[in-house]
Chain A
Amino acid sequence: MKKSNILSLIITLILFFDITDLYAKDFSEKNIPVQEGGRIKPLDTYARNQALAFYGKRKIKHENLSAIDWMMDLFIYPEIGLEQKIFNIRNPDIVNALGLEWTNNFHKYSYSEISPGLQNQMPLISNIIDKKEEDRDLFENQLVELYQNMMKYRQIASSLSCLLPMFTVYDPEIAEKLHIEPGQFTSYAHIMSHRGSLFNVSQNILTKSEDSWTESEREVALLLYNLQQTSLDEFAKALKIIPPAKDDTTGLWISPWELLDGREIKPHQDKIIKSMEAYLFARYEKNSSSMDDALKSYKTGVLSFPGDRVKFSILEKETWLNKANLFTLSLVFYLFGFILLGISWMVQPILFMNIAYGSLISGFILHTYGIYLRMVIMSRPPISTLYETIIFVGFVIVLLSVVIEFLRKDGLGIFIGSVSGSMLHYVGFGYAADGDTLEMLVAVLNSNFWLATHVTTIILGYGTSLMAGLIGHLYLIEKIRVPNNSSRLKSIYNNMFGVTLIALFFTLFGTILGGIWADQSWGRFWGWDPKENGALLIVLWQLMMVHMRLSGLAKPDRFALGMVLNNIVVIMAWFGVNLLSIGLHSYGFVSGVAVNIVLFTLFELFTGFGTYYWSQLNNRKTPV
């Protein structure tokens, strides 16, 4: 029976080396560094986040385009991009307000479709923008969001237009002045860097009347007109891909259009825009070897930035993580494990159960690796945002399940691990849909030491507490199913009590550590802030259960019920206190959570008390 375990481990490892191998490749356009949200991220992440904001998905599904390809196309063919159905509008009221037609299942609209409608609504929109955010209703919020998305989209579409090969001259003399071959296409940026050489000609044009222009003057006039048209794009400053000058102290990266505003262009910046220009041209011509050359030179340009060195290996890891979707894969393994466990109950217990265990472990390894990569990318401890707490609680529960399964070998661990692992991944995806999950932190949280100690401990506490609650559920179910199998019930009860003690250790210690952090940064150990009270409530509840057991107030059945109800306390402390939106800790607020919390509470109350009283009913029937 060990064989199948080893087998599944080997399969997992092979899978690993296979996918990790992917990122040994050359520098690709996906890894172009962009500054957004306070950090340097790969263009791939940037593109995915934008796609998520506009389209609602991390790729353009109906055109089967990856985010990066969509964005590159948008850079090269901005006009086509304006016609692309990219804006996902889910509210029919908005569609009506824009004078568009609400189709039944495909609510995607293009920039050109939406733009006139929004123009008409401008008085309304500026009125809403003046309002405070909490005074806006859903329609108003969505309208403003759409408006802001449109503005951003327009900016992104034009952000590289100064680097597109759109201009040419045929007059050999002028071409030479501009350092191009006659008829060769070049960019706004290139011409602007040689604009001094056109000075005399343009003076002539201005002084002479239009009919007396020579052929070459006519050409220059047209060129100047076209340049003027392109320069209207200079508002497009969203894409911050160029590291600042060395003497800059703000740490702000700049966009190509900002670079062309007349400031002195540093050598590394020049190299970057020249390479980008070459890359866009090669991509336009679909010449993959020139594309590679341009990217190589681009990377050299970024590396020659004299300030903080850009860590390409980190960018590559993030791009790989985007692609690999480790948490989705991990979810698949968990679900697979659950199904296999179900099969093992029906046929062939040992074999299928072992494969199920292997599947759980494989999912767990992917899960762990995903968390590890996120830590490496952000160079900080595993948990710092609400999203990461969810991923980490999943990790803790599956880890404990793997251990318990190893000790029990009867499927109990697989069951708990696969069910809760999948559920938490699923909840996590909901949170990930809000945007970039790798966010920067506000000052008070910006402390790796305390994130690593307090936050990790308290989340370990949440995870182990939920685990104890899950075993509590199982205990009550088994009590109904096999009321007379006292040794099985006893062993599950022991597991539950053991996990409760671990949970108590982490919640108690984590809460005290939190107090110490508060003492270090705010000057008081305890302030009765909602989040502190939430954590305290879990500790108190668990202390109560342990002492009820000790004093005989709670027999095993009641203890199990108590730990099931403890789940409600955990969820309240975890998500509920944020709903009060008061106090120093309310940085994790997410609206719409309230309904889910209520549903969860009702579910736990119903199943907890239901199974408890049902098992007591059985108790009475069983002859003593």
Chain B
Amino acid sequence: MKQEIIKILSSPKLFVYCLVWLMVLVVVGTVSQRDIGLFASQQRYFSSYIFLFGPIPLPGGRIVLALMLTNLISMMFKQNIWKMKKIGIIIVHLGGIMLLFGAGLTAIFSSEGSMVIEEGSRSNTVDDYHNTELTIINISEENYDIYTVFDQALFVSGNNLRHENLNFDITILEHMDNSTIEPIAGQSDIQYRGMLKNFSLKEISIDKDDMKNRPGIIFQVSGSFTDSDGIYGLIFGQSVPATLSINGKQYVMSIQKKKTYLPFAIELLDFKKVLHPGTQVAKSYSSRINLINDNIPRSVLIEMNKPLRHKGYTFFQASFIEGPDGEATVLAAVHNYGRLFPYISSIIMSIGLLLHLLTNLPSLLKKNRK
């Protein structure tokens, strides 16, 4: 029985079927990027375990890759594989196992986001690309602010959000992945507070470019037993934040990209963009920064293809913003445990394939002369 299972799991046929399905996923996932955008397509086909095709559930990228990894590992338990003649093949497959294993680590544990820093200012937070959060800041203390943050995962209709920092309760009424505000004509609902008195928050279809989506929530504030109890609305990127005043305490509420706080800060000294002379084609971008640890700055130059690596984080020159008051750099920040796996596995696989090629090619390329 055990042998049977190993035989099926380690069979090259299983590998072929996985490959065929993976190719289908790759083709569908690539073509559909035209319609639903890269992020949505990646979530649906590649980063999923199961996805629905109409009513039919089909295996997503993660299941297929996990099956392929199992297939490769079980192959190593086969008796007839361990022969000197097959040394190249064994090495290649070991490399493959490492590559898939590293991919798994990255898929589960890595996080990425961006940092926007203006020239002359500093930052120690990374904004997630996709996830947002509800931030409520108590600004009534003189020397400090108190932040209370609720993750996007909690934005489910009917969910109650409560925290000891806050002297009121929040009940989520509605959550929208992408929304827009429209002025309303006439009288608004008596319960509405803040922005909702003059505007309505409406759900719209999701944009292909996930960065352009503006999530919105509508929620009920209760329990303060003041006039501030009522229904509020918030939208990502709103120019005037919502404010609440309850029993002498001032709160500012907003939806923002989920922030990660770094154990160090980055200060942008100078952003440089160089064009090929006489053209609009960029030759290089670079940011001269100070990396500040315990108030001690270290000067670093981040360039295209030359990132900064520090304390498990990697910072890349991703983009820039040119404004009337000067330039701002956009750094991509990545935290990834699996990043060395592709490097090592590619070396292993190349060695294996080369060994195999060197031992087999001469006889394959010759013309058989009998």
Within 8 A of A (CB), among B323-346: 332-334, 336, 339, 342-343, 345-346
**B-side interface mostly:** helix
Say how far B316's CB is from chain A's closest CB, in angstroms.
Answer: 5
Within 8 A of B (CB), among A489-529: 490-491, 494-495, 497-499, 501-502, 504-505, 508-509, 512-513, 515-517, 519-529
Contact of A516 with B346 at beta-carbon distance under 8 Å, contacts A494-B363, A551-B16 already known: yes
- Please determine whether B12 and A534 come into contact, CB atoms closer than 8 angstroms: no
Q: Does A530 contact B (CB under 8 A)?
A: yes
- Please determine whether A408 and B367 come into contact, CB atoms closer than 8 angstroms: yes
- Please determine whether A525 and B106 come into contact, CB atoms closer than 8 angstroms: yes
CA gap between A36 and B276 in the complex, in Å: 10
Within 8 A of A (CB), among B309-323: 314, 316, 318
In the complex, the chain A residue whose C-beta lies closest to that of B277 is: A251
In the complex, the chain B residue whose C-beta lies closest to that of A523 is: B334
- Please determine whether B283 and A440 come into contact, CB atoms closer than 8 angstroms: yes
In the complex, the chain B residue whose C-beta lies closest to that of A550 is: B12
Specify which of A251, A443, A447, A529 lies most central, judged by the most chain B CB atoms within 10 Å of its CB: A443
- Please determine whether A528 and B112 come into contact, CB atoms closer than 8 angstroms: no
Chain B positions within 8 Å of A527 at CB level = 38, 42
CA gap between A522 and B278 in the complex, in Å: 27
Q: Does A580 contact B (CB under 8 A)?
A: yes
Specify which of A407, A494, A536, A553 lies most central, judged by the most chain B CB atoms within 10 Å of its CB: A494
Chain B positions within 8 Å of A519 at CB level = 339, 342
- Please determine whether A504 and B353 come into contact, CB atoms closer than 8 angstroms: yes
CA gap between A517 and B318 in the complex, in Å: 14
Say how far A153's CB is from chain B's closest CB, in angstroms.
Answer: 19
In the complex, the chain A residue whose C-beta lies closest to that of B335 is: A523
Q: Does A83 contact B (CB under 8 A)?
A: no
Within 8 A of B (CB), among A322-350: none
Interchain CB contact (< 8 A) of B112 among A404, A444, A524: A524
Say how far A354's CB is from chain B's closest CB, in angstroms.
Answer: 16
Specify which of A252, A495, A517, A530 lies most central, judged by the most chain B CB atoms within 10 Å of its CB: A530
Interchain CB contact (< 8 A) of B23 among A38, A521, A537: A537
Interchain CB contact (< 8 A) of B305 among A447, A509, A536: A447
- Please determine whether A505 and B278 come into contact, CB atoms closer than 8 angstroms: no
Which of B25-33, B159-167, B290-298 contacts the other chain? B25-33
Specify which of A508, A534, A550, A583 lies most central, judged by the most chain B CB atoms within 10 Å of its CB: A508
Contact of A505 with B332 at beta-carbon distance under 8 Å, contacts A409-B367, A520-B307, A537-B27 already known: no
CA gap between A519 and B361 in the complex, in Å: 33
Contact of A404 with B342 at beta-carbon distance under 8 Å, contacts A440-B283, A524-B334, A533-B30 already known: no
Q: Does A442 contact B (CB under 8 A)?
A: yes
Q: Does A589 contact B (CB under 8 A)?
A: no
**A-side interface mostly:** helix
- Please determine whether B33 and A530 come into contact, CB atoms closer than 8 angstroms: yes
Which of A139-147, A159-167, A541-549 contacts the other chain? A541-549
Contact of A505 with B33 at beta-carbon distance under 8 Å, contacts A35-B278, A512-B342 already known: no
Q: Does A236 contact B (CB under 8 A)?
A: no
CA gap between A487 and B361 in the complex, in Å: 18
- Please determine whether A505 and B353 come into contact, CB atoms closer than 8 angstroms: yes
Count A interface residues, CB 8 Å.
72
Say how far A195's CB is from chain B's closest CB, in angstroms.
Answer: 29
CA gap between A240 and B276 in the complex, in Å: 14
The total of interchain contacts (Cβ-Cβ below 8 angstroms) comes to 181
- Please determine whether A525 and B350 come into contact, CB atoms closer than 8 angstroms: no
- Please determine whether B279 and A495 come into contact, CB atoms closer than 8 angstroms: no
Interface size class of B (residues with CB under 8 A): 35 or more
Chain A positions within 8 Å of B31 at CB level = 580
Contact of A501 with B361 at beta-carbon distance under 8 Å, contacts A523-B334, A524-B334, A537-B23 already known: yes
CA gap between A204 and B23 in the complex, in Å: 87
Say how far A486's CB is from chain B's closest CB, in angstroms.
Answer: 10
- Please determine whether A501 and B305 come into contact, CB atoms closer than 8 angstroms: no
Chain B positions within 8 Å of A508 at CB level = 349, 353
Q: Does B284 contact A (CB under 8 A)?
A: yes
- Please determine whether B285 and A443 come into contact, CB atoms closer than 8 angstroms: yes
Specify which of A35, A250, A541, A543 lies most central, judged by the most chain B CB atoms within 10 Å of its CB: A543
Within 8 A of A (CB), among B258-292: 275-279, 281-285
Q: Mark A12-37, 1 if CB is under 8 A from B, else 0.
A: 00000000000000000000000111
- Please determine whether B343 and A516 come into contact, CB atoms closer than 8 angstroms: yes
CA gap between A164 and B13 in the complex, in Å: 78
Chain B positions within 8 Å of A440 at CB level = 276, 279, 281, 283
Within 8 A of B (CB), among A535-566: 536-537, 540-541, 543-544, 547-548, 550-551, 553
- Please determine whether B346 and A513 come into contact, CB atoms closer than 8 angstroms: yes
- Please determine whether A443 and B12 come into contact, CB atoms closer than 8 angstroms: no
CA gap between A512 and B282 in the complex, in Å: 27
Say how far B319's CB is from chain A's closest CB, in angstroms.
Answer: 11
- Please determine whether B346 and A509 come into contact, CB atoms closer than 8 angstroms: yes
CA gap between A26 and B26 in the complex, in Å: 57
Say how far A457's CB is from chain B's closest CB, in angstroms.
Answer: 10
- Please determine whether A522 and B332 come into contact, CB atoms closer than 8 angstroms: yes
Chain B positions within 8 Å of A409 at CB level = 367
Chain B positions within 8 Å of A551 at CB level = 11-13, 15-16
- Please determine whether B368 and A490 come into contact, CB atoms closer than 8 angstroms: yes
Contact of A520 with B305 at beta-carbon distance under 8 Å, contacts A504-B353, A582-B33 already known: yes
In the complex, the chain B residue whose C-beta lies closest to that of A522 is: B316
Within 8 A of A (CB), among B18-47: 19-20, 22-23, 26-27, 29-31, 33-34, 38, 41-42, 46
Interchain CB contact (< 8 A) of B304 among A37, A446, A487, A499: A446
CA gap between A252 and B167 in the complex, in Å: 64
- Please determine whether A253 and B278 come into contact, CB atoms closer than 8 angstroms: yes
- Please determine whether A540 and B360 come into contact, CB atoms closer than 8 angstroms: no
- Please determine whether A494 and B283 come into contact, CB atoms closer than 8 angstroms: no
In the complex, the chain A residue whose C-beta lies closest to that of B350 is: A509
Q: Does B364 contact A (CB under 8 A)?
A: yes
Interchain CB contact (< 8 A) of B29 among A499, A505, A533: A533
Q: Does B181 contact A (CB under 8 A)?
A: no
Interchain CB contact (< 8 A) of A444 among B33, B304, B342: B304
CA gap between A548 and B11 in the complex, in Å: 11
- Please determine whether B276 and A38 come into contact, CB atoms closer than 8 angstroms: yes
Q: Does B87 contact A (CB under 8 A)?
A: no
Q: Does A266 contact B (CB under 8 A)?
A: no
Q: Mark B86-106, 1 if CB is under 8 A from A, else 0.
A: 000000000000010001001
- Please determine whether A548 and B278 come into contact, CB atoms closer than 8 angstroms: no
Q: Does B357 contact A (CB under 8 A)?
A: yes
In the complex, the chain A residue whose C-beta lies closest to that of B304 is: A443
- Please determine whether B12 and A487 come into contact, CB atoms closer than 8 angstroms: no
- Please determine whether B34 and A487 come into contact, CB atoms closer than 8 angstroms: no
- Please determine whether A501 and B342 come into contact, CB atoms closer than 8 angstroms: no
**Interface contacts beyond A403-B365, A520-B305: sample of 11 additional A-B pairs, CB < 8 Å, sorted by A:** A38-B283, A408-B366, A502-B357, A505-B350, A523-B112, A524-B112, A540-B19, A540-B23, A547-B15, A551-B16, A553-B13
Subset of 7 A-B contacts with CB under 8 Å: A253-B277, A253-B278, A501-B353, A509-B346, A528-B42, A536-B26, A582-B34
